[in-house]
Structure 1
Amino acid sequence: MMRRLFPDERGATLVEFAILLPVLLALLMGLMDLCYQAYVQAVLEGAVQKAARDSTIEAADISTIDTRVVTAVRRVAGKASVTPNRLFYASFALIKPEDFADSNGNGIHDPGECFTDVNGNGQWDMDPGRAGQGGASDVTVYRVTVHYTRLFPLARLIGWSNQVVLSASTRFKNQPYGTQSIPTPQLLCK
Structure 2
Amino acid sequence: MIGQRILNRIKTDESGATLTEFAFVGPVLILLVMGVFDIAHTQYTSALVNGAMQDAGRDLTLESAGSRVGDIDQAVIDRVSLVIPESANVELEKLSHFDFSDIGEAEEFSDDNTDGICNNNEVFVDANENGLWDADRGQSGIGGARDAVLYTAVVTYPRLFPMHGLAGLPEDVEVRASTVLRNQPFDEQDRSTSTGNCP
Same fold (TM over 0.5): yes
When residues 3 and 82 of structure 1 are mapped into structure 2, their CA distance, relative to the original with a 3 A threshold, is same
**Unaligned ranges ≥5, structure 1:** none
Moved over 4 A (4+): 186-190
- Find the partner of 1:78 among 72, 82, 85: 85
Name the CA distance, whole Å, in 2 between partners of 1:26 and 1:159.
Answer: 11
**Letter aligned with residue 54 of structure 2:** Q
Q: Which residue of 2 aligns with 1:91?
A: 99
Q: Show the 5 A alignment for 1:67-146.
A: 67-79=74-86, 80-95=88-103, 96-146=105-155
**Letter aligned with residue 129 of structure 1:** G
Q: Which residue of 1 aligns with 2:161?
A: 152
Name the CA distance, whole Å, in 1 between partners of 2:161 and 2:129.
Answer: 48
1:64 lines up with 2:71 in the alignment:
yes
Q: Deviations over 1:7-47 (max 9, x none)?
A: 23344234323432222111111221122111111111111
Q: Quote the RMSD (CA, aligned, Å).
A: 1.9
Flag the structure with larger Rg. 2
**Letter aligned with residue 148 of structure 2:** V
**Letter aligned with residue 167 of structure 2:** I
Q: Deviations over 1:49-103 (max 9, x none)?
A: 1111111011121111111110111101032211111111111122211111211
Q: Which residue of 1 aligns with 2:34?
A: 29
TM superposition shift of 1:158:
3.4
- Find the partner of 1:169 among 178, 190, 196: 178
**Letter aligned with residue 29 of structure 2:** L
Name the CA distance, whole Å, in 1 between partners of 2:130 and 2:90.
Answer: 29
**Unaligned ranges ≥5, structure 2:** 1-5
| Percentage of pairs with the same residue | 40
Name the CA distance, whole Å, in 1 between partners of 2:19 and 2:134.
Answer: 65
Name the CA distance, whole Å, in 1 between partners of 2:13 and 2:85.
Answer: 53
Name the CA distance, whole Å, in 2 between partners of 1:33 and 1:120.
Answer: 43
Please state whether the residue corresponding to 1:153 is helix, strand or coil: coil
Instruction: Give the number of aligned pairs.
Output: 189
